[in-house]
Chain A
Amino acid sequence: MTAMPAPPPARKQSALLATLNRNRLSWVGIGMLAVIFAVAIFAPLLSPHDPLQQNILHRLEPPSAEFWLGTDSYGRDVLSRLFHGARISLTIGFLAVLVAMIVGSTLGVLAGYIGGIFDQVVMGIVDVMLSFPTLLLGLMVAAMLGASLENLIIAIAITETAPFVRVARAPTIAMKRQDFVEAGRALGFSPGRIMGVHILPNILSDIVVVASLWMASAIRTEASLSFIGLGVSPPTPTWGGMIREGFENILSAWWLVVFPSLAILLTVLALNILGDALRDAIDPKLRGEE
Chain B
Amino acid sequence: MNGLQVRGLKKHFILGGGFLGGKTSRVRAVENMSFDVPEGASVGLVGESGCGKSTVSRAVLRLVEPDEGTVTFNGTDVRAASPAQMRKLRQKMQFIFQDPYSSLNTRRTIRQTLEEPLKVHRMGSPAERRERVEAILPEVGLPQEALDRYPHEFSGGQRQRIGIARALVLEPELVVADEPVSALDVSVQAQILRLLDDLRQRRTLSFLFVSHDLGVIRHFCDVTCVMYLGHLIEYGPTEEILDDPAHPYTMLLRESSPVPDPTSRIANAKMTGEIPSPANPPTGCPFHTRCPRATPECKEVMPKMKEIAPGRQVACHLY
A residues adjacent to B (C-beta < 8 A): 3, 6-9, 120, 124, 178-180, 182-183, 185-190, 193, 197-198, 201-202, 284, 288
Contact = CB atoms under 8 A, between A and B. Distances in A.
Q: Which 4 A-B pairs have the closest CB atoms?
A: A188-B90, A179-B103, A186-B95, A179-B97
Nearest to A188: B90
Given A9-B153, A124-B19, A182-B97, A187 B107 contact: no
Nearest to B99: A179
Interface in B101-159: 102-107, 116-117, 120-121, 149-150, 152-156
A6 B153 contact: yes
A69 B103 CA distance: 59
Contact of A188 (B86, B149, B166): B86
B192 interface: no
B37 interface: no
B304 interface: no
Contacts of B87: 188
**Interface hub of A178, A186, A193 (most chain B Cβ within 10 A):** A186
Nearest to A198: B105
Given A178-B102, A186-B95, A188-B120, 20 more contacts: A3-B156, A6-B152, A6-B153, A120-B18, A178-B103, A179-B98, A179-B102, A183-B95, A183-B103, A183-B166, A186-B61, A186-B90, A187-B117, A187-B120, A187-B170, A188-B121, A189-B117, A198-B105, A202-B106, A202-B107
22 contacts: A3-B155, A3-B156, A7-B153, A9-B153, A179-B98, A180-B102, A182-B58, A183-B97, A185-B63, A186-B63, A186-B90, A187-B166, A187-B170, A188-B86, A188-B90, A188-B91, A188-B121, A190-B120, A202-B105, A202-B106, A202-B107, A284-B106
A183 B90 CA distance: 11
B94 interface: yes
Interface in B16-60: 18-19, 58
Nearest to B169: A187
B132 to A, nearest CB: 14
Contacts of A188: 86-87, 90-91, 117, 120-121
A189 to B, nearest CB: 5
A60 B151 CA distance: 64
A8 B105 CA distance: 18
A261 to B, nearest CB: 42
B63 A7 contact: no
Nearest to B94: A186
A152 B155 CA distance: 52
A180 B113 CA distance: 10
A196 to B, nearest CB: 12
Given A180-B102, A183-B97, A188-B117, A9 B19 contact: no
B88 to A, nearest CB: 8
A205 to B, nearest CB: 10
Nearest to A8: B153
Contacts of B93: 186
A189 B122 CA distance: 12
A246 to B, nearest CB: 49
B276 to A, nearest CB: 26
Contacts of A185: 63
A288 B155 CA distance: 16
A283 B210 CA distance: 34
B200 to A, nearest CB: 19
A176 to B, nearest CB: 12
A193 B95 CA distance: 19
A202 B94 CA distance: 24
Nearest to B118: A187
**Interface hub of B106, B107, B149, B155 (most chain A Cβ within 10 A):** B107
Contacts of A3: 155-156
Nearest to B155: A6
B155 A9 contact: no
Contacts of A179: 97-99, 102-103
Contacts of A197: 116
Nearest to B20: A120
A182 B120 CA distance: 15
B133 to A, nearest CB: 14
Given A3-B155, A6-B153, A182 B121 contact: no
Nearest to A183: B103
B103 A180 contact: yes
**Interface hub of A3, A183, A202 (most chain B Cβ within 10 A):** A183
Nearest to B163: A183
A162 to B, nearest CB: 17
A201 B150 CA distance: 15
Contacts of A9: 149-150, 153
Contacts of B166: 183, 187
B91 A180 contact: no
A7 to B, nearest CB: 7
Contacts of A7: 152-153
A200 to B, nearest CB: 10
A65 to B, nearest CB: 55
Contacts of B120: 187-190, 193
Nearest to A119: B19
Contacts of A8: 153
Interface string B237-251: 000000000000000
B116 A189 contact: yes
Contacts of A189: 116-117, 120
Interface string B219-237: 0000000000000000000
A19 to B, nearest CB: 16
